[in-house]
Structure 1
Amino acid sequence: DFEPLAIAFKRVVNIIKQARQNDALDPEFVLDPSLFQDQSESRLHEAYIRVRDRVSELLNSERHGRALLEIASLRRFVDDFFDGVMVLTDEIQLRKNRLALLNQISNLFERIADFSKIST
């Protein structure tokens, strides 16, 4: 079912878009896994690393459908992340780190489709 997938990914893309508009996304900030406080952050990051490398290979060989399936495997990790943490926390370093993680994921999504344009 594509709709739950689109909802999860659209949420990521919209948070990043809003953060850019509000200058909350620091392009110089480097993701720091040592700042992760919840297992959902670590799990999402680990899953992202695995999927990112496979998606790059698949896109290079023009296997777009398979690349989308790989990205879809991130959905449960994205859902767990949003259930486990408050992205826009008052703690600046944590907020920057969480936004950096979501930005990496958003960039990966955008290699396949513009999820912000998908109607849900």
Structure 2
Amino acid sequence: MSKPQPLFKAFYHAFKGMQYFFFNDRNGKIHLTATIAVIIISFVMGLSATEWALILLCIAVVMALEMMNAALEKLCDLVHKEYHPFIKITKDVSAAAVLWAAIISVVIASIIFIPKIILLL
């Protein structure tokens, strides 16, 4: 049994994973761009602490699921390079988890932002 890596190294590898995701994964770039846009809009709209917490939680959930989806897809591609129905189901369900979280996040963002936009008009 190998000994656990030092805590610093564990964090280092986690940050390297985030760096890879945001700079090399197409969906990572899309989600990072959307996150930056939502954060800017949130500052402009002057969200309450509760609204910020909800928005940041949505960002964290969608981003984490997308990272897991990307990792699972890479692993599936390594395990089985050709088409396989079980690999397809695995990838589809993993992508569906991200989609579901993103849809709910849009609903939550709409509940927060639409009334604020209406007040500005």
Between structures 1 and 2, the one with greater helix share: 2
Query: What interval of TM-score do these two structures reach, taking the shorter chain for normalisation?
Result: 0.3 to 0.5
TM-score (norm 1): 0.35
TM-score (norm 2): 0.35
